């Protein structure tokens, strides 16, 4: 769920769109099984999660002489 919080003041300053979530992910993998029957088992699991966002109205300073 996202909302857009652009006020008339922000639009008058030249900002014509707000931040946006580009992608979100949540991945997991698990593997397990017996090594010796009814004695020793192994189990391994991993997880990766994150998100990528676009930030509007943020600029790098190109003037390195300042």
| pTM check: above 0.75 | no
Residue 1, pLDDT > 70, answer no
38 vs 4: which has the higher pLDDT: 38
| pLDDT at residue 57 in the model | 75
Residue 19 binned pLDDT confidence (cut-offs 50, 70, 90): confident
- Cα angle, residue 17 at apex, residues 1 and 48 outer, rounded to 5°: 45
Q: Averaged over 41-46, what is the pLDDT?
A: 96
Residue 7 binned pLDDT confidence (cut-offs 50, 70, 90): confident
CA dist 30 and 35 (Å) reads 16
């Amino acid at each position: 769920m996202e909302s857009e919080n652009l006020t008339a003041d922000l639009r008058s300053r030249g900002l014509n769109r707000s931040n946006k979530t580009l992608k979100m992910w949540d991945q997991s993998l698990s593997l397990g099984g017996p090594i010796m029957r009814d004695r020793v088992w192994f189990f391994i699991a991993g997880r990766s999660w994150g998100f990528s966002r676009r930030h509007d109205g943020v600029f790098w300073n190109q003037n390195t002489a300042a």
